[in-house]
Amino acid sequence: MVKDAPIVEFESAGLAYEDAPETLSDLSMRLREGEFRFLCGPSGAGKTSLLKMIYLAHRPTRGRFRLFGEDAMNAPRDALPALRRRIGVVFQEFRLLDHLTAFENVALPMKVAGVNQNQYREDVSELLNWVGLGHRMDARPPTLSGGEKQRVALARALVSKPDLILADEPTGNVDPAMSERIMKLFIELNKLGAAVIVATHDLHLVQRLGKPVLRIADGRLSHAAGPGGAP
């Protein structure tokens, strides 16, 4: 990482899916260490598309994009996994592996990174307990409820202590008390230095937490100073 560089930096970037008109246009934003942003906008506006660009699942089709100070537009494919390892993602559709238990799903990023199980076993259990799934660690995703799957996905995103957390509707399937708990966890991790972007339709949470809002509408991203950027 280039020292003191923004964690995420787009300049006049655009994203077009195949021959369609641009889904996102003239995108310019910066996210620095320790910053927190909500990402709002109507369904289909491009919130997931933006998070996927940041996660390097899609590259912008024009403009400049730097991640952890590296030129992510022109980085070779084999440089991407190292950048991705610094990002924790809670996907909108969870993406859990059905043949693995909840514990194994959460542990997977550590296992893939070659970490010894003794070093992460406790972290995995602690996170699963924290999200209220201590008693379901051996369950496989097909036997979990939507909200339980979402919480496993959350634990998996956080287990590697990422520098950047991207959460796509992380409270879409849980009750209000659990939403509150999950948001508090993001805020705590943010206080410890992680940069966080949370895409959400939950305006009550956005208003109550008072964090800055990025809003996407009509293919453009705008910055709202406070929680006024309601979709």
Binding at 61: pick from ligand ATP, Mg ion, none (beta carbon under 5-8 Å per type): none
Binding at 23: pick from ligand ATP, Mg ion, none (beta carbon under 5-8 Å per type): ligand ATP
Residue 200 binds Mg ion, judged by CB under 5 A: no
Distance (Å, rounded) from C-alpha 37 to C-alpha 198? 6
Tell me, rounded to whole angstroms, the distance of Cα 43 from its chain centroid. Answer: 17
Q: How far is the CB of 167 from Mg ion (least distance, A)?
A: 11
Residue closer to ligand ATP (CB basis): 17 or 188: 17
Residue 171 binds Mg ion, judged by CB under 5 A: no
Percentages of the chain per state (helix, strand, coil), in multiples of 5: 35, 25, 40
If one counts every other C-beta atom within 10 angstroms of the C-beta of residue 20, the result is: 7
Roughly what angle, to the nearest 10 degrees, separates helices 117-130 and 146-158? 140
Q: Which parts of 130-149 interact with Mg ion (CB under 5 A)?
A: none
Distance (Å, rounded) from C-alpha 108 to C-alpha 94? 14
Residue closer to Mg ion (CB basis): 131 or 199: 199
Q: Which of helix, strand or coil describes residue 6?
A: coil
Binding at 125: pick from Mg ion, ligand ATP, none (beta carbon under 5-8 Å per type): none
- Of residues 7, 27, 36, 48, which one binds Mg ion by CB under 5 A? 48
Binding residues for ligand ATP (CB under 6 A): 17, 23, 41, 43-49, 92
Binding at 207: pick from Mg ion, ligand ATP, none (beta carbon under 5-8 Å per type): none
Distance (Å, rounded) from C-alpha 231 to C-alpha 112? 38
Interface with Mg ion (CB under 5 A): 47-48, 92
